[in-house]
Amino acid sequence: MGKKIVAGNWKMNLLKEDAQTLASEVVNIAKDELSSDVTLIMCPPFVHLSEVKKLTSAVSNVFIGAQNCSTEASGAYTGEISVGMLKSYGIDYVILGHSERREYFKESNEELAKKTDIVLENGLLPIFCCGEVLAEREGGKQEEVVGSQLKESLFHLDAEAFSKVVIAYEPVWAIGTGVTASTAQAQEMHAFIRGLIAEKYGQEVADGISILYGGSCKPGNAPELFACKDVDGGLIGGASLKSRDFIDIAKSY
Ligand code: PEP
């Protein structure tokens, strides 16, 4: 069982004032209600990171993540954001390989291996997303697809580096669709992922990795998903934009 983590992916949502309001609300409710053994992560768009970080610094189990980073350390890459910059703002986590980035920005497993390396080299922690699209699920290819994503982007790491990675299993057909994976489907894939890690790095490393579920997770379905043996929390999209829902999900253990 990995550390319990609930991360909110705000995607490209919220203007300045609304971002600050949401972050303040989350922090205030978390202070009163969140168990100290749950790690809460908010992942706003880049432009809001600095302000949100300032608002959350008073709570020890609330952390901030970015939604992406460059493969490069610095230089002539207009529009890109380096991990070093994120580090200089005290950012703790970086989401890598979200399905939207794989689909719209054609991020490959190879590119994500580079991003994983540069995140870890800078001392930040990757939240690595994997998951199959609907046609792959319907063709029974989910294990093959997720296995390749993990092997090609992460399995070059040594055990010490790998232990720092958080994995988010997000069946693409469940993201933003209102269709959640059943508990059986989620548990089956999480157990498969943990098994693959155990084969490569040993059971002790596998047991310590947090494997989050993502895909239309809401306060109503989080308790049953989080009760699955190999589900260590969630990566939350839409519901992370409402402070009450986000915290209620995080309280679902
Ligand atoms: C996500 O984008 O990572 C996600 C899980 O979105 P949603 O919760 O809205 O399905």
Question: Which atom of ligand 1 is least distant from the CA of 236?
Answer: 8
Question: Considering the entire predicted model, what is its pTM?
Answer: 0.97
Phi, psi of 9 (to 5 degrees): -100, 105
Q: Burial of 79 by CB count in 10 Å (0-12 exposed, 13-18 middle, 19+ buried)?
A: exposed
* Residue the block writes with tokens 């990566």: 235
Whether the CB-CB separation of 215 and 178 falls below 8 Å is answered with no
Q: Is residue 48 part of a domain?
A: no
| Closest residue by CA, ligand 1 atom 1 | 237
Decide if 248 is inside a domain.
no
Each residue's pLDDT tens digit in the chain (253 positions)?
789 999 999 999 999 999 999 999 999 999 999 999 999 999 999 999 999 999 998 899 999 999 999 999 999 999 999 999 999 999 999 999 999 999 999 999 999 999 999 999 999 999 999 999 999 999 999 999 999 999 999 999 999 999 999 999 999 999 989 888 999 999 999 999 999 999 999 999 999 999 999 999 999 999 999 999 999 999 999 999 999 999 999 999 7
CATH of the domain at 171: 3.20.20.70
Residue 7 maps to a domain:
no
Catalytic annotation, residues: 98, 170
Phi, psi of 65 (to 5 degrees): -130, 155
Instruction: Name the nearest CA neighbour of 40 among 240, 183, 230, 242.
Output: 240
- Residue range(s) defining the domain that contains residue 179: 67-210+226-238
Instruction: Classify residue 21: in a domain, yes or no.
Output: no
Overall number of domains in the chain: 1
Q: Is residue 46 part of a domain?
A: no
Residue 1 included in any domain: no
**In a domain? residue 11:** no
Q: How far is the CA of 237 from the centre of ligand 1 (A)?
A: 3
Residue 58 within any structural domain of the chain: no
Question: Which residues approach ligand 1 with their CB closer than 6 A?
Answer: 9, 170, 175-176, 214-217, 235-239
- The first and second tokens of residue 77, run together, are 């890459």
